[in-house]
Amino acid sequence: MTKRIEVIVEPASVSLKAGETAEIIAKVRNTGQTIDQLVVGIEGLDEAWYTVPVTSVALFPNDQDTLRIMLHPPREAEDRTGPHPFRILVRSHESPEVAVAEVAFEIKRRLEIVLGISPDEIKGRKGSYQVTVTNPSNADSRVKLSAFDGGNRLRYRFNLSQLAVGGGASAGATVQVRLRWRAWLGGEKEIPFLVAAAPPDAGTDALFCPYCGHRFKGGGVHLSCPHCGKILAENVRTAEARLVRPPLIKGLPKIRIPWFSAMPRIESFTATTANKIEFTLKWSVKRTGEVRLNGEKVPDRGETAVHPRGPTTYTLVATNRGKSVTQTVEVRPLTISEPRTCERLRVSLSPEKVEAYAGNVPATVTVQIQNIGTIVDKFIVEIEGIDGSWYKRSASSLGLMPQASDQVQITFQPPKKEGVRSGEYPFAVVVRSESNPGESAVVTGRLEILPAPEFKLQLRPVRATCRKKAAYRIGLVNTGVSDLVIKVDASDMEEGCRFQFKEKEAAVPAWRTVEVPMVVRPKRRSFIGEKKRFDLMVNATPNQGVPLTASGELTHAPLFRSWRQLFRVLSRLILLTIIIVGIIKAIHWGGGWDQLTDDPVQWWRHLRHGTYVPWW
């Protein structure tokens, strides 16, 4: 604490993983006797690890303001896990005094793995799934595997419960999934489940589930809740698959009595957003004949993106034989004020429209503020319509003499993360008078995030062996801010395979993943021959951007390698048949099976001397 400045930091201790974001609030107070411009700085921390949206603030005597400090260590900081304490410095413009606040900052280790499961769906009362753990980082990782589902309807058995995955390597395990006895009966039903990979010490020792209140039996450490299927531990990677239970008795007609038919059920209907501008509506409905979202017919399960201009209510209606259920969600996007002027100040914005690439070079606009009143006044500068993590202000307030003017620089740098999409984002700059909060001036502008097509191409499995055909899945991962339409095609170097696609063109929204099934059939259909490997090449061409290519392998393994092997198998079958026939004849010549079991000595005498004569 100093005589002119006082600063308090909340929280004083922060712990997060590399790639995550946290916010610190610094409460700054001018305890001096004159108006002062206070400048905030960070000491002891890498500049790429933090953002200070407002670097200075003008305060009257005994006035107080709050400043936000965003901590966002990049993914590259994973190698620097551990404590990183730093200091927040608040300097006075009128004197050399400095206020200091200490912050204990720690970077926790992030589990850098990619978890995959194949196949993603099996129809039956049991199935075997292959789990693949890929470690793209340079450091070795050790994970434990587990599986769970809501309702605890499945039983799981891993051949390996823990995997050690080296840097840049992959490891795999097999999980056997089967129905529990209470889920055995009933018609066809899709039972989704999650396979999780977590550090060996992950889990919680709580007695109750914080989501559904389920009480855990037997204590111990729990990774998930067996009742609702929610994940309770941190630093967990999951992959989803399904076991489709077939009906117990096939072929019987379904008998439905209208007045006894079950009510439709809306399992989930949620609205999520990352920037409070675009919202994603996601729903899942069971036992329904028709589903409508705000009057428009939609499938039983799906999602859609909406851009409401103001508070909007979305209604989901599920109907089944005259019975219906309804559920609503309300979204409240960021709103902006209409342009207006004020008699106490004059505000202008230059330029009114800026363009920027997400995660790239920032764009800056200048807000010119002039005090046209007759008294010394302080003016508060606020931004509406844009998320606070997208911009930085050179100052959140200005103290101006009559007829004096000053500028505030607003730097827009939208992050490149999930939820940020290309397009125009209107915003408003609101300047308020502190002496008379009811008087304010508003200027509006537009921020345009330019399209930046970027996607990843994945082929799973990379290697496959077959006799007739092999099934692959082409993963199209859109990691950019703009929607893409991607065409896929495949070929092999020797032109010895046929490729079949369900759809050769896929629409991939921003930050979404779409899988395209592909079936490969070797043109050589003979069941005799040597193994032959085909090098596959999958091409993905987007409507904008650079095409990508992924490679894979297909090994055609005929039933027999050569005619000699076939004749060898046939000769062994013939020899085995002769031996079996000889044994049957010998048992018959000795008196039959009953004679052999009742009196083996007499049976051997008949067989040796040929004295047995059947009665027929």
Residue where the block lists tokens 């009953």: 594
DSSP 54: B
Q: Could you count the other beta carbons within 10 Å of the beta carbon of residue 369?
A: 21
Residues 67, 40 contacting (CB under 8 angstroms): yes
What value does the mean pLDDT take over residues 545-573? Answer: 85
- Report the predicted TM-score, pTM, of the whole model to 2 decimal places: 0.56
Residue 420, SS3 per DSSP:
coil
Pull the structure tokens for residue 377.
């006044």
How would residue 252 be classed by pLDDT, with cut points 50, 70 and 90? low
Residues 172, 131 contacting (CB under 8 angstroms): yes
Answer yes or no: is pLDDT of 249 > 70. Answer: no
Answer yes or no: is pLDDT of 497 > 80. Answer: yes
pLDDT in tens, 34-65: 888 888 888 888 888 888 888 888 888 888 88
Residues 21, 71 contacting (CB under 8 angstroms): yes
In a domain, 233, yes or no: yes
For 51, list phi and psi in degrees, rounded to 5: -140, 135
Q: Could you count the other beta carbons within 10 Å of the beta carbon of residue 398?
A: 25
The Cβ-side half-sphere exposure at 15, using a 13 Å CA radius, reads: 6
CA distances 104 to 72, 74, 99, 158, 308, Å, are 15, 18, 17, 41, 40
Pull the structure tokens for residue 190.
């899709």
Pull the structure tokens for residue 188.
């066809």
Q: Are residues 438 and 363 in the same domain?
A: yes
- What is the structure's pLDDT at 251? 54
How would residue 612 be classed by pLDDT, with cut points 50, 70 and 90? low
Residue where the block lists tokens 């018959």: 588
Pull the structure tokens for residue 404.
């004096």
Q: Are residues 459 and 445 in the same domain?
A: no
The residue type at 525: R
Residues 447, 427 contacting (CB under 8 angstroms): yes
Average pLDDT, the chain: 84
Q: Which CATH number fits the domain that encloses residue 292? A: 2.60.40
Q: Could you count the other beta carbons within 10 Å of the beta carbon of residue 548?
A: 16
What value does the mean pLDDT take over residues 279-289? Answer: 87
Distance in angstroms (rounded) separating the CA atoms of residues 408 and 208:
51
Residues 19, 110 contacting (CB under 8 angstroms): yes
Distance in angstroms (rounded) separating the CA atoms of residues 245 and 179:
8
Q: Are residues 141 and 239 in the same domain?
A: yes
In a domain, 257, yes or no: no
Q: Are residues 520 and 470 in the same domain?
A: yes
Strands 455-460 and 423-433: unpaired
Beta strands in 362-422 (DSSP E): 363-371, 377-384, 391-393, 397-400, 405-412
Answer yes or no: is pLDDT of 331 > 80. Answer: yes
Q: Are residues 362 and 460 in the same domain?
A: no
Answer yes or no: is pLDDT of 183 > 90. Answer: no
CA 357 to chain centre: 23
Percent of the chain with pLDDT over 70: 91
Q: Could you count the other beta carbons within 10 Å of the beta carbon of residue 8?
A: 15
Alpha helices in 160-221 (DSSP H): none
Pull the structure tokens for residue 244.
């489709």
In a domain, 151, yes or no: yes
Residue 164, SS3 per DSSP:
strand
Q: Are residues 322 and 413 in the same domain?
A: no
Q: Which CATH number fits the domain that encloses residue 538? A: 2.60.40.10
Cis peptide before 351 (omega within 30 of 0): yes
In a domain, 480, yes or no: yes
What value does the mean pLDDT take over residues 177-187? Answer: 84
- Which H/E stretch holds residue 585? helix 563-589
Answer yes or no: is pLDDT of 19 > 90. Answer: no
Could you say which of 55, 80, 108 is where a domain stops? Answer: 108
- What is the structure's pLDDT at 600? 84
Distance in angstroms (rounded) separating the CA atoms of residues 545 and 481:
12
In a domain, 125, yes or no: yes
Residue 32, SS3 per DSSP:
coil
Distance in angstroms (rounded) separating the CA atoms of residues 558 and 527:
5
Q: Are residues 177 and 81 in the same domain?
A: no
- What is the structure's pLDDT at 157? 92
In a domain, 251, yes or no: no
- What is the structure's pLDDT at 219? 56
Burial 574-594 (b: 16+ CB within 10 A, else e): eeeeeeeeeeeeeeeebbeee
pLDDT in tens, 90-140: 888 777 788 888 989 888 776 677 888 888 889 888 999 999 888 877 777
pLDDT in tens, 342-356: 888 999 999 999 999
Instruction: Write out 196-210 in H/E/C secondary structure.
Output: EEECCCCCECCCECC
Residue 57: strand pairing partners: 38
How would residue 207 be classed by pLDDT, with cut points 50, 70 and 90? low
Residue 432: strand pairing partners: 380, 440
Most confident of the ranges 257-261, 274-278, 577-581 = 577-581
Number of independent structural domains in the chain: 6
In a domain, 392, yes or no: yes
Answer yes or no: is pLDDT of 616 > 50. Answer: no
- What is the structure's pLDDT at 509? 86
What value does the mean pLDDT take over residues 201-205? Answer: 67
End-to-end CA distance of the chain: 119
Q: Are residues 162 and 194 in the same domain?
A: yes
- What is the structure's pLDDT at 1? 43
Q: Read out DSSP for 263-290? A: PPEEEEEEEEESSSSSEEEEEEEES-SE
Residues 134, 170 contacting (CB under 8 angstroms): yes
How would residue 537 be classed by pLDDT, with cut points 50, 70 and 90? very high
Pull the structure tokens for residue 150.
């809501």
Task: Write the CB contacts of 365 (distance below 8 Å, at least 6 apart in sequence).
Answer: 349, 350, 351, 352, 354, 409, 410, 412, 445
What value does the mean pLDDT take over residues 67-78? Answer: 80
Could you say which of 298, 331, 364 is where a domain stops? Answer: 331
Q: Are residues 180 and 222 in the same domain?
A: yes
Counting every residue written for the chain, the total comes to 616
Could you say which of 414, 449, 484 is where a domain stops? Answer: 449
Distance in angstroms (rounded) separating the CA atoms of residues 37 and 91:
8
- Segments forming the whole domain that contains residue 472: 455-556
In a domain, 396, yes or no: yes
What value does the mean pLDDT take over residues 477-486? Answer: 90
Q: Read out DSSP for 557-583? A: --SBS-HHHHHHHHHHHHHHHHHHHHH
Percent of the chain with pLDDT over 90: 20
Distance in angstroms (rounded) separating the CA atoms of residues 488 and 485:
10
Q: Are residues 428 and 487 in the same domain?
A: no
Helices 600-609, 563-589: inter-axial angle, 10-degree rounding:
110
Distance in angstroms (rounded) separating the CA atoms of residues 595 and 293:
80
Nearest one of 324, 406, 397 to 369, comparing CA atoms: 406
Distance in angstroms (rounded) separating the CA atoms of residues 462 and 476:
15
Q: Are residues 384 and 349 in the same domain?
A: yes
Residue 478, SS3 per DSSP:
strand
What value does the mean pLDDT take over residues 509-520? Answer: 89
Q: Are residues 459 and 441 in the same domain?
A: no
Pull the structure tokens for residue 362.
């920032």
Residues 294, 315 contacting (CB under 8 angstroms): yes
How would residue 413 be classed by pLDDT, with cut points 50, 70 and 90? confident
